[in-house]
Chains A and B, each alone.
Chain A
Amino acid sequence: MNTVPLTQLEETIRQAGEGWLIDSFSPPEKALEHLSRSLEAVNRRAQDRLGGNAPSLSETSIVKEFQRHPQGVRGFFQALGGTRTPDMLLMVWRIIQGMEIKDIQLSYRRQQAFKMRVVLESPYGDDDEEYESSKIQDFALFRHIGILEISDKPVFGGFYPLKLR
């Protein structure tokens, strides 16, 4: 159930500089309804998978989180515009929250199959979390992931907003 008027979510999206999420939707007046439904689906998925450990992805929480971590929420908004897979959006949120990317497996065969599997690791001793998708569009989420090396060893870390203009 939404406890925040849709206008507050819209205001946050526009304040984040991601108004395209609404304006480029067809028709634009249906965009917020669609985004709300997507958030509800992610929230349900989080509850199903993580139970009491689930983060809140309600509109209220996201609006509040934007005040604390605007860049993270901007990245999440961009993901929201790029994937329809609730599991992938939950994965993105968990990375933004600080989960480490422990393992990525990717398989692809042209015109046949795509599969990605990401395992996240908690720095605080919680169980690993596995996320899978067979939608090739979800590959684009990797564009947002930070890259670094620790003593020449590879690390994927963080989920950041792309500079869209």
Chain B
Amino acid sequence: MIGGIDVYIPTRAGNSSVEIAVRAVRQIWPNAVFENGLTGDRYNRFSEIPFGEIEELFVYCSTAAADIWDSEGAIPDVYNTMVHIIADKEMIIAVVDEKDAAMERILAAIRSGLSDDILYIPVSEAA
């Protein structure tokens, strides 16, 4: 994506942050497909995503959208049909074309999932 908008979302989710973000996007795009941002490998199913090695992931709203992105790039027809998720230290960067209402809903879902701190407070401190 060239010229996208970077949205910085702080998180304490650590190594689970990409998965949490992907699951949040998938709530709104149930037919999403995925692509490794570094290798270009396509994952048609969530269970195929190698979360252990993913640093960047493209989440497309559908196979059709992914195909167009792959063949024609960022043309207007596919604006806001993909979210580029980048894992950074204590941060997820979501890169989107435009922050319209539909995309804001997706970003809010990601923020909501990543703010679920209860999983990341050490049990010994919580006790």
Interface of A toward B, CB cutoff 8 Å: 66-72, 97-98, 123-124, 143-144, 146-151, 155, 157-158, 160-165
Contacts and interface: CB of A to CB of B under 8 A. Distances in A.
Contacts of A158: 16, 19-20, 23
A164 B124 contact: yes
Given A70-B52, A148-B109, A155 B121 contact: no
* B24, B45, B53: most-surrounded residue (chain A CB, <10 A): B24
A97 B105 contact: no
B30 interface: yes
A163 B52 contact: no
A68 B23 CA distance: 17
B16 to A, nearest CB: 5
B119 A162 contact: yes
Interface of B: 15-16, 19-20, 23-24, 26-28, 30-31, 45-47, 49-53, 105, 108-109, 112-113, 116, 118-124
B23 A157 contact: yes
A164 B122 contact: yes
Query: DSSP majority for the A interface?
Result: mixed
Nearest to B105: A151
B19 A71 contact: yes
Contact of A71 (B52, B109, B116, B124): B52
B16 A160 contact: yes
Contacts of A97: 46-47
A123 B46 contact: yes
B121 A163 contact: yes
Contacts of B27: 148, 150, 155, 157
Contacts of B124: 164-165
Contacts of A164: 122-124
A123 B119 contact: no
Contacts of A98: 45-47
A163 B47 CA distance: 23
A128 B23 CA distance: 18
A68 B28 contact: no
B84 to A, nearest CB: 20
Contacts of B123: 162-165
A158 B46 CA distance: 11
